[in-house]
Structure 1
Amino acid sequence: ILIFFGGSWNLFRFVEIGLTILFWFSVPKKNIWLPILLLALANIRPTAPGTIYYQAFQHLAGYAVLVMFVLLNVKSFLRVGFIALAIFAVLSPRSYLYDRVDRNAEFTQNYGQYYVTGEVVRLLSNPNDTLFLDGYDDLIYWQAKRFSPYPYSWYTSVMHEFPLYTTARTQMFLATPPDFYYGRCDRETLISVLPDNTADQYSRFFWQTRPTCLFVRKEKLAVIPKESLDQVNRQFEYSMR
Structure 2
Amino acid sequence: MTNQYRSIFDIIGPIMIGPSSSHTAGAVAIGHVANRLFHAPINKVIVRYYESFAQTHQGHGTDYAIISGVLGFDPADQRVPMAVDLARRQGIDVVFIEDPGNSPVHHPNTAELTLINREKELTIWGCSIGGGTIEIRQVNLNGIVIKTDGPLPLVFVESEQEIGDALDQIFEGNYRDKRISVKVPDRFLYKIELIDKPYPEQIEQVRGMSQDVIVL
TM-score normalised by structure 2 residue count: 0.29
Higher strand share: 2
Higher helix share: 1
State which structure, 1 or 2, has the greater radius of gyration over its C-alpha atoms: 1
Q: What's the TM-score, normalizing by structure 1?
A: 0.26
